[in-house]
Structure formats: C-alpha cells, structure tokens
Amino acid sequence: MSKLNSKIPDGPLADKWTKHKAALKLVNPANKSKLDIIVIGTGLGGSSSASSLGELGYNVKVFSYQDSPRRAHSVAAQGGINAAKNYKNDNDSVYRLFYDMIKGGDFRAREANVYRAAEVSNLVIDHYTALGVPFARDYGGTIDNRSFGGVQVSRTFYAKGQTGQQCLVGAYSALTRQIKAGTVTMYPLRELMDIVVVDGKARGIITRNMLTGEVERHSAHAVVLATGGYGTIYYLSTLALNSNASAAWKAHRKGALFANPSFVQIHPTSIPVLNSYQSKLTLMSESLRNDGRVWVPKQQKDPRKPNDIPEEERDYYLERRYPAFGNLVPRDVASRAAKERCDAGFGVGSTGLSVYLDFRDAIKKKGKKAIENSYGNLFDMYEKISGESPYETPMRIYPAGHYTMGGLWVDYNLMTTVPGLYAVGESNFSDHGANRLGASSLMQCSGDGYFILPYTITDYLADDIRTPRIQTNLPEFEKAEKEAKDRINKLLSINGKETATSFHKRLGKIMWDYCGMVRNEEGLKKALVLIKELEDEFWKNLKVTGTNEELNQELEKAGRVADFFELGKLLCLDALNRKESCGAHFREESQTDTGEAKRNDDHYSYVAAWEYKGEGQEPELHKEELRFEFVKLQERSYK
Amino acid sequence: MNIKLKIWRQPNAKSKGRFETYPLNDVSSDMSFLEMLDYLNNNLIKDGKEPVAFEHDCREGICGSCGMYISGRPHGPQHKTTTCELHMREFKDGDTITVEPWRAASFPVIKDLIVDRSAFDKIMQAGGFITINAGAAQDANAILVPKKNADEAFDSATCIGCGACVAACKNTSAMLFIAAKVTHLALFPQGKIEAEQRVKSMVAKMDELGFGGCTNTRACEAECPKGISISNIAKLNREFFVAKLKE
C-alpha cells in the first residue's frame, strides 16, 4: 500500500470540507484537559494553533527558540493577507481565490486543500479584526482592500507595510491570554533536538534549553510543527537569520515524508549584496515595479555612474524581452532575467550582482511628490541600508530566496506520515504548489491554525482519550535524549578551524549557484558532489567555541547548518528528479523556444514525497498523483 | 575604517561584567552595525576567544530582538532606527564606540549584550489582549471603526517590544510600552469593553515587576525606533484615572 493517503474527501469541491468536518470525531470538554498537545513555533501558524487548541481546553505546551512569541518571523511579512470577502464588489469569490492559487501554483497543488484554504480565509479576517488587528480602513469605517501580485480583484487586507507584524501581534495576544488562563504553557528559548516516536506515534520531543544547555524531555499525545520554511539554506535570503529547517528535518528523519523540497520562491526585488560581510537581504515590495524601470548598461562592467550613462547605452532588458508585460512580468521571470544579465557580465554595483530599478522617468512624469506618496517608506528603508537615495540615483536590486512552497508532506487533516505529527503553515507543502501568490502565506498559516487543525487533531485525539499522560521515562525518550546529547558533544569536539557561519555561506553559494533560480542536470549533479565534500569537511574542521552548559550561539548555528547539508542534498535530488519546469522550479532542459518554463503534465503531475532511509542512504521517492477534477490544466501565459 | 569597540562582557547572569576593548580594522561603511559585530566575532573566534553574544533575528527593524546601548543611546545615534538598521557610515574612522546591554533592573543581563525581557510578556499576559475565541467573531465589517481611530491605533501598534523605552528612561519605566498597547486596543469598539480592567491590570503588573513610574522626561519617545508618541502615555493616564475613579 502506498504510504501516501491524502484522505481527500469525495464529492463536489465546495462540499468537501463541510462533509469532511461532519464526519470528524469529537472529544468532550472534560477529556480535553487530559490530553496534551505540543506545538513547535510561535509564528502565525504556531500561535494560532496553540491559542485555539488552548481555547478548546486542551493542555498545550508551546516551544520557541525566540525569547518571546512575538519575534517569530511571520512578523516580517509586509504586503497583506488575502480573503475572498468580495468587499470591493469586484466579483471575487471563494472559487476565484481558489482558482488564482491553483493556477498561480502552476497546477502542482491539491485542489481540495487549496479550495479549503480559500474557504476559511474569511473567518481568518473576521478573527484578526476581532483581536484588534488595525487593518487599513476607508472613511466610512469599513475595511479597505488592495490588489496584489497581478490578480484581477482587490482581495488583500493590509496594515500599511506591516501586515505580518500586526497579525502576529494579534495572534500573540490571543496566545498570551491562554498562557494567563493556564491552558497553554510557554517554553521560550528552546531548540528542538528531536521528535520522539513511540509505537509508531509522535509522543514527544527533545529540546535544548538555550540558556542552560539542559537537554529536556517533553511528552504529549500529539505534536504540531509550525516551524516555517527553509529559505535560509541559501545563507543570504529575505528570512530572519535564525530561521532554520532543523525541526522539519528531525521530523523527516523520524519518518515524515518531505514533499517537493525544490519548490523555492526567489523574490526578484531585494536589496542586493553590498559587501562580503552581508548577512541578510531586505525585501523591497514588488509594487515598486509599477513605476520603476529595470535596466543594466549595454556595456559589460561599465564603470560609469548610472546617471552618467546615456539613454541609448541602457538595456531595459525586461521591456526588450517581454514587450507585452515589460517590467511587470511575474516574479520568477523577472528573477531569472536579472540573473541572466548579471551572469553575462552586465550586472552593476561593486559585486556585479545587481540591476538598476530606476524611478527617473516616473518622477519626471508624475512628480516627486506622487512617487513619495506611493513608495516613501520603501525609499527611506532603502536609503538607510544602502546609503543612496532612490530619488537621486537608481535603486539596485537582485533576486533573493524568499519562501519555500515545499515542506513536510501532510494529508487533508494536516497530518504527516507519522501518526500524531502535524505540520501547519509554511512547514507543510500543501497549498501553494510550485509557486506562491503574494499575500497568501499569512492566509494559509492562520487558516491552518485557527480553523482546520483544531478540528482534525480532535478527530485523531478522540481515539486517545483512554491513553494516560505519556511518561518521559520510556526507552524511546531515553534513546532520543542520548542521541541529542551525542550530537551536541560531536559538534563541540571537532575542534577545527572554520566557523558554522563560514560553512553556511559556502553551502549557500552552492545552493544558489546550482539549485537556485535556474537548474540543470549537470549543475545539480555537481552540487550533490560539492555538498557532500563540504559536509565531510564540516564534520572534520568545524570550530564551535564555548560549552554546552551555557548560552552558546555558535553551537546553535552549528546544529542548524549540519541539518542544512542533508536538506540541501534532498533539494538537489528533487530538482534533478523533476525534469520539467513549473512555477519557481526552472529546469533549463525544459523550456520553450522563447526561454519560458515548460511544464510536463504527462510525467510530473505529482507531488514528490521523499522518505528518509538512513544516514548515507538514498531517499526513496513516493508519488502522490495530482488529480484535477474541477479545473482544466493550462499553460501559465503572460504574453 | 578603523574603530575601537568598548563592549560589555558578562559570561552569565551570576557573574560580574566588565568592559573589554577591541580594536577593529578594515570596517566597511556599508556594513550594518550587527554585521560589524559579526565581523568582530569572526575575528574573536579565529583568535580562540569567546564571541560577543547579542540578540538579533530579522535584521530589518521589525522583530525587536536587537536591543543594545550604543555610545550612550538605545539603538545608537540614528533617529527612529533599530540597531540592525544602523549602518557603519554613521560612524567615523578612529571612533571609539561603547556597546552595552539594556540597563534596567527588570531586564537582567543573561550574557554579554543579551537581557531577559520576559517582563514584557508578563505585562501582556496581564491584559494586553481582547477576549475572543477563534470562531466567535462576526463579519469583519459588522463593526465600523472610524478611519482616524484605526490609523491612530495602527501608530500605537507599531511597537516592536524591543525595550528601548525602558532602557532610555532614568526611572526604567515601561509606561510607553503599556500605553501603546492600551491605546491601540481602546481605540477599537472591540477592545473598549475590557479597557478599564486592562489598564489597571497592566499598570499593576508593571509596578509589581519593578519598572519605575513616568516623570515625563520624554526620553522614551526620543529613543523609540518606531517613533511612538508620548501622547500615548497621556491617553493611558486618562484611561487609568477614569478606571480608578469608577472603582
């Protein structure tokens, strides 16, 4: 029997979730407090899961490596959160939101999951509003919406450029209320070391207390991962520096299949690398491409300042290559085109890895004031980082790793292939296919945590009401704790010369060069060799200062980088296996005559779910065929 | 450029701390302040020394992790800027830069530049929320909120919980932090219902945790990286006295 039973209910698309919910089992209130649930992560997915499960009366324990739940990386989402409210009367609907997502994902997501995400989106907005999230409003007091990411309707709810921050503070406040009520216990500053599986079910975790180094055992009837994405595998990305893949990777090693790992979104408009010490790439909203023109000099390595280069010596390459869409081509196309120019030696800036985004013509046409009204805060942010004013000199931008559509494989109940182990939000793979549309990540992780997981996990726990509190002296806990300690000791005892950060940078470069925006067979095979070599070097030459029994940031980094090597190999394997281009995954071998992505529905209309087979073993590929009953597959076209 | 750093080093909460001086050469003016510290740490590790522990995460001014005192000012010399957004071009060749953790009894030092800010979470638990369970909300447009209120609420809600207001205050008061939350929630009809209880509970918790009172020096407003106005404190005082009068 296949390992992959998606448990998608039969019936018409619009009835699936309703029908499924009606069949889910319940747990009576008196029994809920006897059931323990562990939630890892306090971003929107984790906070929403933990608070809503606490509200239901479960005994919840929530873990985070942050000192406070409010610092989780959902805080940095800028643009907005989608919902199918149709407040603008522009004929939006649940179906339309579903369709935009399934098409935007290049037909590599499940219809039923995507439809449900759209269906619960309205409840999410209602809840955040009730929690006091200050969404932008119109003069009559109703909530305002804007359009986003090339969609034809205005369905994006926003709080200036801080939508993620405001939603997270709202979700954090709800979580805080449950902590005070005693239904949720918060364990801050904990690093997840392992998932404990007892008799085939997830029954607990091993953590490291980041203040004392103590390795701890925590048990529960079920475990929920809300641990975000793995974009920091590229070292430089738009993500927070502490974001990492370790929790998901530990789950993978304990039997959870990892789906579509190579589906990574590269965002085209980030502030580029300015020096070799750079640690972070800050996103500039893609709305800037509405007025900015992207160009590079026609002359390679042109030493002149941008304003000294005359019009006829500038190559507006997006307008040249895509006359119909010009600067407004989709994210993946804009990213690849920038890379192509820079690789060919036309890039600008001291590193040669950036292109100009020029507002000169827009300022001339609309006036400085109008541009300031639209983009003032972004221009200020850019100036703070780069020291240059975009009013005077063109911005320099370059693509950066941003969001990972891939993640732990989950069924319709959001359960991984390990019974009792759930994954929500970015840490699962389920809703965005091969490419995520803007403003749909906040929507998905909140919907998962508030309105899906509480129902589906209850169904699972209904069979556990007679299971007493799980004891942490079971041999499985003992073994997992010992392995965690052994690994810490191993990292500390190498005593080599190179820091974890240095290895991370080198791994990031391999990933970026061979498994970034553009991939091909030769490069991916080379990357697999290079990663292996680097990994071997890491285990021989890593230097970690200090000891385990203290706050030790070098040790934390080392553990995360070690997991990135293993995940990096899986990314390359997955990209190698998928010999088609779809969404953000672009295989050079699979493109049209004009260099556009060419999907291969006959052979690759499936979710690639990888099973861990042990240290040094090839992972096994399982395929979940995607069935499209309600939409017709078509080419994503923008010409 | 070449600079000299005077950094507070303290191995843990129990031990005594002291300043250590580190000369640092070849600092690029394009580096962010935290990247400069990364660079220093890299050198320290190469020399077999303990790197400086400091908190950071998003590095774009939004998570509130990276609090530190830089040359006598929370988050350094640039107005409305977090440490991670501060760049070395704000400094000159030959500068001596002093770097210290937040200094407040309610924020005890954990290690080097890292302090324990869990007191803020405790204040939030005392009432920094609106009581509603998932699923109980009505349609988001069912309760209208004047745009002016929503915009003002947003301005208060931009607080990132970094603690600069407390560190800047000679009384180590958390009034701006609490005032921003109280104001934000009281501006919404949904939050108004619990407003009186909220303000009393949050202020009581602040006092219990050892934060000082407000004497209107406005240091918090001047140093807040998000520019949260001291008028929030005036609103908090009004909310507080009205609530107390009704007792």
Domain spans of chain B, in order of start: 3-110, 117-245
Q: Is the pLDDT of residue B185 over 50?
A: yes
> B96 — phi, psi (to 5°)?
-105, 125
Average pLDDT over residues A143-171: 88
- Are residues A397 and A278 part of one domain? yes
- Are residues A396 and A507 part of one domain? no
In this prediction, what percent of chain A has a pLDDT beyond 90?
85
Question: What span, in angstroms and rounded, lies between the C-alpha atoms of B173 and B118?
Answer: 15
Res. A2 pLDDT band, cuts 50 70 90: low
pLDDT digit string (tens) for A268-311? 999 998 778 899 999 987 778 878 999 999 999 999 999 999 99
Of A369, A384, A401, the last residue of a domain is: A401
> A362 — phi, psi (to 5°)?
-65, -40
Which positions ≥6 away from A632 have C-beta within 8 Å? none
A-facing residues of B in 173-202 (CB < 8 A) are 184-185, 188, 190-191
Token pair 């790197």 is at which residue? B51
On whether the CB atoms of residues A234 and A511 are closer than 8 A, the answer is: yes
- Are residues A277 and A395 part of one domain? yes
Average pLDDT over residues A455-474: 98
Domain that holds residue A300: 271-401
Which positions ≥6 away from A615 have C-beta within 8 Å? none
pLDDT digit string (tens) for B79-103? 999 999 999 999 999 999 999 999 9
Token pair 């990305």 is at which residue? A237
* Cβ neighbours of B11 in A, within 8 Å: 550
Classify residue A328: in a domain, yes or no.
Answer: yes
Chain centre distance of CA A84: 22
pLDDT at residue A150, rounded to an integer: 61
Give the CATH number, domain containing residue A305. Answer: 3.90.700.10
3-class SS at A404? strand
- Are residues A372 and A492 part of one domain? no
pLDDT at residue B160, rounded to an integer: 97
Give the CATH number, domain containing residue A562. Answer: 1.20.58.100
pLDDT at residue B9, rounded to an integer: 98
- Consecutive H or E run containing A338: helix A331-343
Classify residue A322: in a domain, yes or no.
Answer: yes
- Are residues A500 and A390 part of one domain? no
In this prediction, what percent of chain B has a pLDDT beyond 70?
100
How many structural domains does chain A have? 2
More confident residue, A192 or A154: A192
Question: What span, in angstroms and rounded, lies between the C-alpha atoms of A80 and A432?
Answer: 16
A-facing residues of B in 7-66 (CB < 8 A) are 11-12, 28-32, 34-36, 38-39, 42, 45, 48-51, 53, 55-60, 62-65
Res. A329 pLDDT band, cuts 50 70 90: confident
Which positions ≥6 away from A89 have C-beta within 8 Å? none
Q: Is the pLDDT of residue A325 over 80?
A: no
pLDDT at residue A1, rounded to an integer: 44
pLDDT digit string (tens) for A531-555? 999 999 999 999 999 999 999 999 9
Average pLDDT over residues A212-239: 97
Contact yes or no for A131 and B63 at CB 8 A: no
- Consecutive H or E run containing A541: helix A521-541
Question: Would you identify the CATH topology of the domain B3-110?
Answer: Ubiquitin-like (UB roll) (3.10.20)
- Consecutive H or E run containing B74: strand B73-74
Classify residue A147: in a domain, yes or no.
Answer: no
pLDDT at residue A89, rounded to an integer: 97
- Are residues A494 and A393 part of one domain? no
Which residue of B57, B132, B154 is in closest CB contact with A130?
B132
Average pLDDT over residues A443-466: 98
Classify residue A123: in a domain, yes or no.
Answer: no
Considering the candidates A190, A217, A331, A336, report the single residue annotated as catalytic: A331
> For residue B206, which of B176, B185, B245, B246 has the smallest C-alpha distance?
B176
Q: Are strands A156-157 and A81-82 parallel, antiparallel or unpaired?
A: antiparallel
Classify residue A381: in a domain, yes or no.
Answer: yes
- Consecutive H or E run containing A121: helix A111-130
Cα distances (angstroms) measured from residue A379 to each of A136, A151, A292, A388, B30: 21, 25, 12, 9, 17
pLDDT digit string (tens) for A578-628? 999 999 999 999 998 877 889 999 999 999 999 999 998 999 999 999 999
pLDDT at residue A534, rounded to an integer: 98
The pTM is what? 0.96
What is the DSSP secondary-structure string of A8-31?
Answer: ---S-GGGHHHHHHHHS----HHH
Res. A636 pLDDT band, cuts 50 70 90: confident
* Cβ neighbours of A385 in B, within 8 Å: 32, 85, 87
Question: Would you identify the CATH topology of the domain B117-245?
Answer: Fumarate Reductase Iron-sulfur Protein; Chain B, domain 2 (1.10.1060)
3-class SS at A248? helix
Q: What is the CB neighbour count within 10 angstroms for residue B169?
A: 24
> A203 — phi, psi (to 5°)?
-130, 5
Instruction: Give the nearest chain B residue to A48 (CA atoms).
Output: B134
Token pair, residue B173, equals 């008061």
Token pair, residue A14, equals 């619009």
Token pair 């001014």 is at which residue? B61
Dihedral angle of Cα B29, B34, B35, B39, to the nearest 10 degrees = 110
Question: What span, in angstroms and rounded, lies between the C-alpha atoms of B189 and A417?
Answer: 45
Average pLDDT over residues A152-171: 92
Q: Is the pLDDT of residue A638 over 70?
A: no
Q: Is the pLDDT of residue A323 over 90?
A: no
User: Judging by beta carbons within 10 Å of its beta carbon (0-12, 13-18, 19+), is residue A614 exposed, middle or buried?
Assistant: exposed
Please state, rounded to an integer, the average pLDDT across all residues of chain A: 95
3-class SS at A37? strand
A-facing residues of B in 218-247 (CB < 8 A) are none
Q: How far apart are the first and last CA of chain B?
A: 61
pLDDT at residue A594, rounded to an integer: 77
pLDDT at residue A386, rounded to an integer: 87
Q: In this structure, what DSSP letter does residue A450 have? A: I
Classify residue A526: in a domain, yes or no.
Answer: yes
pLDDT at residue A78, rounded to an integer: 81
> B108 — phi, psi (to 5°)?
-65, 145
pLDDT digit string (tens) for A334-352? 898 999 899 999 999 988 9
